[in-house]
Amino acid sequence: MCYIELNPLEPMKPTTSQTFRVRAFAGDYFVVCRRGVLREAARHIARLGRFSSVHILSSSRVWRGVGKKVLRGIPQRRNVHIHLFDDSEIAKTLTTVEAIARKLVRAGADRKSLLIAVGGGVVGDVVGFVAASYLRGVALVQVPTTVVAQVDSAIGGKTGVNLPEGKNLVGAFYPPSLVLVDPEVLATLPPREFRGGLAEVIKYGVIADPKLFAFLERNMLAILGRDNGALEHVVRRSIEIKGDLVSHDERESGLREMLNYGHTFAHALEAATHYRKFQHGEAVAWGMMCAALLGHETVNTPADDVARIIALVRQIGPLPRWPVVPAEKLFDLMRSDKKTKFGKVRFVLSPRLGSAKSYEGVTEKAAISVLRFGPQLILQSLKPLRNADD
Ligand SMILES: NC(=O)c1ccc[n+]([C@@H]2O[C@H](COP(=O)([O-])OP(=O)(O)OC[C@H]3O[C@@H](n4cnc5c(N)ncnc54)[C@H](O)[C@@H]3O)[C@@H](O)[C@H]2O)c1
Ligand SMILES: [Zn+2]
């Protein structure tokens, strides 16, 4: 079986435990993760240089929740502009990019202007793409306000928008100059968004860090109660893991693929239900539990690891039911996923907690069997699974 290993990573040393350096082709950048960091935003931004004007881009929903906090750190002056736009997934389009660019022109933004994206993954992806293309590139600071954005989308420089034909089909790699992560802004995040985002945090534990996984097992209740200390710890560790992966593989040639743990299943679930039934993290939650079972079937993931993954994922809360769709149809959707290479479905599996590999040789039979019987097994499996040879 063909695989790419995650572990031979030479870890990038954080500058401090709350500041992480991420390597990118266009220059390294820092991610600062600390409670209250937004209050010092102006000081961090000043280190980037002088800007002719500053344009804060956000949505009205996000701004209602976090606007005051942001403005405490970036006082409103004559050359600070605020532009709000629709951050729903259906508005993640080239039309929105054009509307924002035109607003920027009217507000006098030039090559020396700075854009600050304040919001979840949609705001980050759209504003990132605007920053990549407006006047062929202007400086960008990301201020992520969802769990997904803090631990995933704001780090790594992927930006882009959707087309009617599919998600994220037009975009660019465009690293930010700085990312400011304040776990306090998660206080106003709607519960479903918050819980879904935790699936991505669990993913980091499964693919790269058994200690993070064990911390999540011990502290999930505090995290679900949005305890700032626990949240800060898991967000930081997730950033560090993602930062390491993208620093070694910005263009997604190998290592970065590990981030797709659970995602092959998740994309099929999302596509089969026309992106209406599952919030992305919820689909990833189901996907990780299926990937754990497939790991047990095909690469001898210990039964105890599988049971722990399922139990932890189930702690993040109730998930929408598995859809009534034939397993073969779900498998066909996996085959047509844009990440499939040369028609072969690749699965990222975890042979043991804290490590992951990408496998090309998983048989169709094994995958379909998990799709057919997995959901029922998962629902029944609050007790540890038994090894087939026990
Ligand atoms: N670029 C990448 O590497 C990458 C990685 C993962 C996901 N993404 C993209 O990210 C998007 C999903 O992002 P998301 O999960 O952050 O969701 P989102 O951006 O859709 O935000 C979810 C909802 O929460 C609201 N919201 C955000 N922050 C809030 C806050 N602090 N208080 C109150 N409300 C708040 C938003 O207005 C929105 O209604 C998708 O489009 C996906 O394609 C990109
Ligand atoms: Zn994801």
Mutate to test the pocket of ligand 1, among 69, 142, 153 (most ligand atoms within 8 A of CB): 153
Alpha carbon nearest to ligand 1 atom 26, residue? 62
Token pair in block for residue 361: 């040789």
For residues 3 and 199, the model is more confident at: 199
Read off the pLDDT of each residue in 32-53 and give the average, rounded to a whole number: 95
Q: Whose CA is closest to 282, among 317, 239, 238?
A: 317
CA distance 316 to 220: 8
Residue 310: per-residue pLDDT: 96
pLDDT value, residue 248? 87
Residue 307 banded pLDDT, cuts 50, 70, 90: very high
Reply yes or no on whether the pLDDT at 3 is more than 60: no
Strand 80-84 relative to strand 54-58, pairing = parallel
Catalytic residue list: 136, 158, 200, 242, 252, 256, 260, 263, 267, 280
Residues 56-71: what's their mean pLDDT? 97
Q: Is the dihedral of CA 379, 332, 362, 352 positive or negative?
A: negative
The pLDDT assigned to 255 comes to 80
Whether residue 43 has pLDDT greater than 70: yes
Q: How confident is the model at residue 13 (pLDDT cuts 50, 70, 90)?
A: very low
Backbone conformation region of residue 203, classed left if phi is above 0, alpha if psi is from -120 to 50, else beta: alpha
240-261 burial code (b ≥16 CB/10 A, e <16): bbbbbbbbbbbebeebbbbbbb
Band (336; pLDDT cuts 50, 70, 90): confident
* Ligand 2 centroid to residue 196 C-alpha, Å: 10
pTM assigned to the model: 0.92
The answer, yes or no, to whether residue 15 has pLDDT greater than 50, is no
Atom of ligand 1 nearest to the CA of 149: 16
Tell me: pLDDT of 276 over 80: yes
The ligand that comes nearest to the alpha carbon of residue 123 is: 1
Nearest ligand atom owner, CA of 147:
1
Tell me how far the alpha carbon of residue 86 lies from the centroid of ligand 2, in angstroms. Answer: 21
pLDDT (average), residues 8-26: 67
Atom of ligand 1 nearest to the CA of 123: 19
Is 180's pLDDT higher than 50?
A: yes
Determine what percent of the chain is predicted with pLDDT higher than 90.
83
CA of 290 to the centre of ligand 1 (A): 24
Question: What average pLDDT does the segment 249-267 reach?
Answer: 86
Strands 80-84 and 158-163, by their bridges, are: unpaired
Average pLDDT (28-38) is: 96
Ligand that comes closest to the CA of residue 149: 1
- Is the distance from CB of 157 to CB of 242 less than 8 angstroms? no
What is the per-residue pLDDT for 368?
A: 95
> Of the bound ligands, which one is closest to the alpha carbon of residue 259?
2
More confident: 386 or 89:
89
Predicted local distance difference test score (pLDDT) of residue 386: 46
Question: One-letter amino acid identity for 198?
Answer: L
| Nearest protein CA to atom 20 of ligand 1, as residue | 122
Instruction: Give me the pLDDT at residue 382, please.
Output: 55
47-51-56-57 Cα dihedral, nearest 10 degrees: -110
Region of poorest pLDDT, from 49-53, 190-194, 319-323, 336-340: 336-340
Asked which of 70-79, 125-134, 313-322, 351-360 is least confident by mean pLDDT, the reply is 70-79
What is the torsional sign of CA 57, 62, 64, 68? negative
- Which two tokens mark 287? 């996907």
As for ligand 1, residues whose beta carbon falls within 6 Å of it are: 59, 61-62, 65-66, 87, 89, 92, 119-123, 125, 145-146, 148-149, 152-153, 156, 158, 167-168, 185, 188-190, 193
| pLDDT for 338 | 64
Taking the C-alpha atoms of residue 194 and residue 223, their distance in angstroms, rounded to an integer, is 10
Write down the mean pLDDT value for the chain: 91
Which residues are 115's β-sheet partners? Answer: 55, 140
**25 pLDDT tier (thresholds 50, 70, 90):** confident
Over residues 109-167, the pLDDT tens digits come to: 999 999 999 999 999 999 999 999 999 999 999 999 999 999 999 999 999 999 998 88
Nearest to 333 by CA among 325, 213, 299: 325
Give the pLDDT score at 64: 97
Q: 290 is written with which tokens?
A: 């299926």
Q: Whose CA is nearest to atom 15 of ligand 1?
A: 148
The whole-number average pLDDT for the span 364-371 is: 95
Confidence band for 254, pLDDT divided at 50, 70 and 90? confident
Residue 275 has pLDDT above 50, yes or no: yes
What is the predicted pLDDT for the residue at 340? Answer: 62
Q: Whose CA is nearest to atom 18 of ligand 1?
A: 120
**Which pLDDT band, with edges at 50, 70 and 90, does 253 fall under?**
low
> From ligand 2's centre to the CA of 150, what distance in Å?
12
Indicate the range of 98-102, 162-166, 318-322, 382-386 predicted with least confidence.
382-386
